[in-house]
A and B are shown apart, each in its own frame.
Chain A
């Protein structure tokens, strides 16, 4: 079965994607996902407008307060508004997830293409290296590296990019391997096309779509991963309002107030859920063979 894809013309590239989005929203779960993703992106862009307070403004007398008209979701252990911190936290989540996935995608695609197309020794070396990188549980590898590099936003991005990269290399390599054997590649060769032009104009366009989809599906995992590292104190450092930091602060005061944990936990779970629902609806639209019901 073939990967079904809309043709992409330079001019109506954007227009062509509107029907896809339409198909995504038409599925109930896809619509829920879309709403959550949209809300998330609005928070990222308009954080200062949405958040009622500055994320670092302290109100010590009202520390660890429950939800109220003044503090919608309550306050944390030094009296900061949880809602504002969560809204600003979306920027950290997005600001880590996007560049790290981009790093993983770029390096992974490059390595996967090289390994898949050249084959032989180069392929073996790259495969063994990727296998070794994947032999670490990703959280362990990240902790080992961050233990040396020290926690910081940039380091987290680098580490996530590195731990996620082998996945992309694998996917692209497998795709390249299968496309390399396709008749149309031989057909290109038989009319005299060079390796370079085959790789760039006949293989890359056909392997990149699944990798982009994978990247979209990976975004929520990277967000929880970053929050997890921050929760362990190995990611973004306080007072920057990463969701993981809010969760970690809440954990330290779990017997005094449950609200920080509840709200940050719910935010994290909802965001991941939203991105996953959206990503899966997108995949079903682009690649209908896995979806449950079949047409004619």
Chain B
């Protein structure tokens, strides 16, 4: 086994005006030829710092103070800047998180790719520009850019996000480097694209035998893709081992908690594990074990001494509990008794789906179309006015006390549908009924009064709070607006307690809160007026797994306590099993399938649902070979000019001639509660049924 990169005792410090911060401490791991090593950890733990350090591209205030970076036996830290420059792009390449900003916007692809090849001209003998161009085109073809030769002169903005990430990969791999560093390459992409890209990366690794350091916060992707896992926490490698070992028998309490807090494959009866406290800031790292303050096993030694790395069957862990003289509880017992979720009220989801059950929300042929504003002059010179059919004829019912998840790729219209139900957007046609009352034509003034009963939790936790108001001002504002007299201090404390925050938070401003805290304030504010309907737009987006787990638990508790009806808008399919009773799948403004969550997962009746569900990366490496994933080709078309007939037909593997002409109706599958809009719904999912059982 040839070692490609060996990180030895790496120590990275940042110098700031106030202090010197330790970003990475005594990091050790190794990448073997052809292996994919996953580097996981929550935000701010130093993952990206490691990547920059390997490239020797740390920001000016960052310094590698100790350790070695042995690349095929040569210490990269000993190279001159010029020697190092020739390693970059030639021997070690890198791809980044956001494909939108990682390509230079004012040069075409050819220019950028060819320059990247010619930068290493001295070693590539004397390669001409046209030879380099050929090399670039063949690599673009390889990563799945259709007709690369004629598109290579295009500028980055002319490609979609998924295509740009492919171009990034092509640029990184065209020189056939030995090591590829991928820094969260799919975090900015939809789940179907994520599956495409991870699949592409794996295939390229198989073909080219490139070693890959894959940096991510997503345990699902690690399980799908990696051979080795390095778990990072607060600048320390806390666990490092073979993928199955780490996922099946995690050693470090942090890894255990992280895996248990993941919502995927958890059903409604359990509670997610949460980790108390939050990731420490580099400014005040704890002495001793960095995880000790959040660890239930911690003994006094954990707070005083740094743990040393212990080797358990070539599975490394950084924890005092594995030392010889450990006297506390065995680490294996940590979180072993999975705490089962006890609903406060008996809940029978089945009953809710019976038609006579009360509807909280009903939409009738709801359409929301956006016209481009082209103005008077545009009309004068005959500019074509584009039309975006964001929501295009949706009938959906949400029953009292249930949770409906609204899923789909970005651009599917799910958020617009949610906003229109709350009349934050005015429908173009069709009706919205809330508790049987039609609100489509209600005046703005009357809508304001109705808002007491229906609330929204917005996507970005911090920016959905007015920045110059304190938490207590924000929480009291609903009462002020609706002229309800309350005992201010008591009410604020009560609301904060309800969402699990202490009253110390009352005087803080939004930017002083963490993402999770801000999310909780948003929920408290939405709940202040005791609404019956709550729409949550991506409630866990941007939050680390352990924080998100707390939010999901809270949402479930609140539903039980207040009998809330939830509509959850999300592209994170991992959470829906845990929180949703039913799922509605949207594609290009239309509802393509709706049904109970479990049925939808196990027996999808629409090819889009089928592909969507199979694209979810599940944090269980044992599934990766058993489960056959259905790769959805291409990307969601522009809602400006949707395909004729069934909007999904260009990406559908069951497509027949009929689909290109006739749009299918939403029909019940064998008179069950599952409805799908597909001409061939009885044929869908036969093979996946076989595979899943």
Interface residues of A (CB under 8 A from B): 2, 4-5, 7-8, 124, 182-184, 186-194, 197, 202, 205-206, 293-296
Among B451, B464, B522, the residue within 8 A (CB) of A192 is: B451
Question: Is there an interface contact between B61 and A295, defined as CB atoms closer than 8 Å?
Answer: yes
* Contact A186 to B16, CB < 8 A, known contacts A194-B448, A294-B59, A295-B61: no
Indicate if the CB atoms of B451 and A191 lie closer than 8 Å: yes
Kindly list chain B residues whose C-beta atoms are within 8 Å of the C-beta of A189.
424
Whether B452 pairs with A187 at a CB distance below 8 angstroms is no
A206/B458 in contact, CB under 8 A: no
Q: For residue A205, which residues in chain B have a CB less than 8 angstroms away from its CB?
A: 468
A86 to chain B, nearest CB (A): 40
Q: Can you pick out 6 interface pairs between chain A and chain B where the beta carbons lie within 8 Å of each other?
A: A124-B375, A186-B424, A186-B464, A187-B456, A191-B525, A197-B481
Nearest-CB residue, chain B, relative to A293: B60
| 490-546 of chain B: CB within 8 A of chain A | 509, 511, 522, 525-526, 529
Of A2, A124, A183, A295, the residue contacting B464 (CB under 8 A) is: A183
The number of chain B residues touching the other chain, given as a range, is 35 or more
Is the Cβ of A191 less than 8 Å from the Cβ of B477? Answer: yes
Closest to A8 in B: B468
Q: Which of B16, B375, B422 contacts A190 (CB 8 A)?
A: B422
B232 at the interface (CB under 8 A from A): no
Q: Is the CB of A296 within 8 A of B451?
A: no
Q: How far is the CA of A206 from the CA of B463 in the complex (A)?
A: 13
Closest to B470 in A: A7
Is the CB of B67 closer than 8 A to any CB of chain A?
Answer: no
A191 contacts B481, C-beta separation under 8 Å: yes
Query: Which residue of B282, B419, B466 is within 8 Å of A188 (Cβ)?
Result: B466
Distance of A295 Cα from B463 Cα, bound (Å)? 23
B21 at the interface (CB under 8 A from A): yes
Q: Contact check, B17 vs A192: say whether CB atoms are below 8 A apart.
A: no
B449 within 8 A of A: yes
With contact pairs A186-B458, A187-B458, A296-B61 given, residues A192 and B468 touching in the complex (Cβ less than 8 Å): no
- Interface membership of B580, Cβ < 8 A: no
CB distance from A122 to the nearest CB of B (A): 14
Q: Are B478 and A192 in contact (CB under 8 A)?
A: yes
Using an 8 Å CB-CB cutoff, how does the interface string of B436-471 with A read, 1 for contact, 0 for none?
Answer: 000000000001110110011011100111111110
Among A124, A182, A186, A193, which residue has its beta carbon within 8 angstroms of that of B477? A193
Chain A, residue nearest B511 (CB): A2
Partner of B449, one of A2, A5, A124, A192: A192
Residue B364 lies at the interface, judged by CB distance under 8 Å to chain A: no
Question: What is the CB-to-nearest-CB distance from B23 to chain A, in angstroms, rounded to a whole number?
Answer: 9
The reply to whether A295 and B17 form a contact with Cβ atoms under 8 Å apart is yes
Interface residue? B96 (CB, 8 A) = no
**B276 close to chain A: CB less than 8 A:** no
Residue from A186, A189, A192, A202 whose CB has the most chain B CB atoms within 10 Å? A192
In the assembled complex, the CB of B1 is this many whole angstroms from the nearest CB of chain A, namely 37
Cβ distance B139 to chain A, nearest Cβ, rounded Å: 34
B316 contacts partner chain A, Cβ-Cβ < 8 Å: no
Q: For A206, what are the chain B residues with a Cβ–Cβ distance below 8 Å?
A: 467-468
Contact at B14–A183, with CB atoms within 8 Å?
Answer: no
Residues on B with beta carbons closer than 8 Å to the beta carbon of A190: 422, 424, 451, 455-456, 458
Give chain B interface residues in 390-428, CB to chain A under 8 Å. Answer: 419, 422, 424
Q: A2-B511, A192-B448 are in contact. Are A184 and B464 (CB under 8 A)?
A: yes
Nearest B residue to A187, CB-CB: B464
Q: Which residues of B from 357 to 401 have beta carbons under 8 Å from A?
A: 375
Restricting to B262-301, which residues have a CB under 8 Å from any CB of A? 282
Q: What B residues does A2 contact at CB under 8 A?
A: 467, 511
Residue of B nearest to A120 (CB): B373
> Once the chains are docked, how many angstroms separate the CA of A194 from the CA of B443?
13
Interface residue ranges of B29-80 to A (CB < 8 Å):
59-61
Residues in A with CB closer than 8 Å to B509 are 7
Within the complex, the shortest CB–CB distance from B468 to chain A, in Å, comes to 5
Q: Which residues of A contact B467 (CB under 8 A)?
A: 2, 5, 184, 206
B481-A183 in contact (CB<8A): no
Nearest B residue to A182 by beta-carbon distance? B463
**Min CB gap B464→A, angstroms:** 4
Distance between B643 CB and nearest chain A CB, rounded to angstroms: 30
Residues in B with CB closer than 8 Å to A191 are: 451, 455, 477-478, 481, 525-526, 529
Contacting residues, chain A, for B449 (C-beta < 8 A): 192
Q: Which residues of A contact B61 (CB under 8 A)?
A: 294-296
Contact residue among A7, A193, A197, A295 (Cβ-Cβ distance under 8 Å from B468): A7
Q: From residue B691, how far is it (CB to closest CB) to chain A in Å?
A: 41
Hey, which chain B residues are within 8 Å of A184, CB to CB? 458, 463-467
Top 5 A-B pairs, shortest CB-CB distance: A192-B451, A183-B464, A192-B448, A184-B466, A187-B464
Given the known interface contacts A192-B478, A296-B16, A296-B21, the answer about A183 and B459 at a Cβ–Cβ threshold of 8 Å is: yes
Question: Cβ of B665 < 8 Å from any Cβ of A?
Answer: no
User: How far apart sit A293 and B59, CA to CA, in the bound complex (Å)?
Assistant: 11
Tell me whether B482 is interfacial, beta carbon within 8 Å: yes
B59 and chain A: residue at smallest CB distance: A294
Output the least CB separation between A209 and chain B (Å).
10
Q: Chain A residues near B464 (CB, 8 Å)?
A: 183-184, 186-187
Which chain A residue shows the least CB distance to B450?
Answer: A192
- Interchain nearest-CB distance for B500 vs A (Å): 20
- Chain A residues near B465 (CB-CB < 8 A): 184, 187
Q: Chain B residues with Cβ under 8 A from A296's Cβ?
A: 14, 16, 21, 59, 61, 282
Q: How far is the CA of A192 from the CA of B424 in the complex (A)?
A: 10
Taken together as a complex, chains A and B put the C-alpha atoms of A188 and B526 apart, in Å, by: 10
Chain B residues in 8 Å Cβ range of A294: 59, 61
Q: How far is the CA of A4 from the CA of B468 in the complex (A)?
A: 11
Please, which residues of chain A bring their CB within 8 A of the CB of B448? Answer: 192, 194
Whole-angstrom distance between the Cβ of A206 and the nearest chain B Cβ: 6
Docked complex Cα distance between A187 and B475 (Å): 12
Contact (Cβ within 8 A) A183 B463: yes
Task: Write the chain A residue with the least CB distance to B468.
Answer: A205
**Complex Cα distance A5/B452, Å?**
32
Distance (Å) between the CB of B447 and the closest chain A CB?
8
Complex-state Cα separation, A188 to B481, whole angstroms: 10
Inter-chain CA distance A206–B525, complex, in Å, is 21
* A183 and B59 contact, Cβ closer than 8 Å, known pairs A7-B468, A193-B481: no
Question: A13: shortest Cβ distance to chain B, in Å?
Answer: 13
